Amino acid sequence: MMNARILFPVILFMVITLTAAAQTDKKAAQLKNLEAGVTNAKARVAANEKKVADADSIINTGKKLIDEAKADAKSVDSDSRKLEKDYAAKYKSLNKITRSKDKAAANKAKADLRSLETEHRTGNRALETRFNNALKKQSAGIAAINKGWTAKKNAQDALKVSIGALKAAQKKYDQAAGQDGNESVKGKKKK
């Protein structure tokens, strides 16, 4: 009978201890799952921040392309003015010689004039090609900027959602860990 009186409290103590240990293990597993959720949310935030940075990079590349296109167009314009000025000066002098009474000089001037016109057309075609390339570069820059802005807007929207998910996961973790939950998420301001 004495054994029964001692045995009952010992069994009761063991049951209470095992129950408490099981609850502690359950809480530890729950905290581990919540911590994994916080880690995943932080990874999503980092991925979305990278997407925003990539979109900014695309926008900057587009701006550089537009700047290069403007510089190319200015270069074409100055070269075109120089070509036209040189052509006008040479044409004027050769045209004057073609009206000369000396037939040999007039014929040579006419041949030189045809050669000058061919050279002028070739120069203009080269300038036109350079200008068209500048326009293509500018169009590519505009397309890159538009693509970058679209990607940036989408990435910023996803970033807002992932920051919200991170705050919620951190709050759940803090509450489960017994903290007050008033701490802000690391590196982020509370709104």
Instruction: Give yes or no for residue 121 having a pLDDT over 90.
Output: yes
Report, as an integer, the average pLDDT of 81-109.
Answer: 90
| Number of domains present in the structure of the chain | 1
Q: What is the mean pLDDT of the chain?
A: 85
**Is the model more confident about 50 or about 24?**
50
**Cα 108 from Cα 98, distance rounded (Å):** 8
CB distance 166 to 34 below 8 Å: no
In a domain, 187, yes or no: no
Residue span of the structural domain in which 153 resides: 72-171
In a domain, 2, yes or no: no
CB distance 81 to 150 below 8 Å: no
Task: Give the pLDDT confidence of 171-181 residue by residue, as tens digits.
Answer: 988 888 875 34
In a domain, 113, yes or no: yes
In a domain, 127, yes or no: yes
Say whether 55 sits in a helix, a strand or coil.
Answer: helix
- The residues, ordered by sequence, that sit 6+ positions from 169 with a Cβ below 8 Å of its Cβ are 34, 37, 38, 40, 41
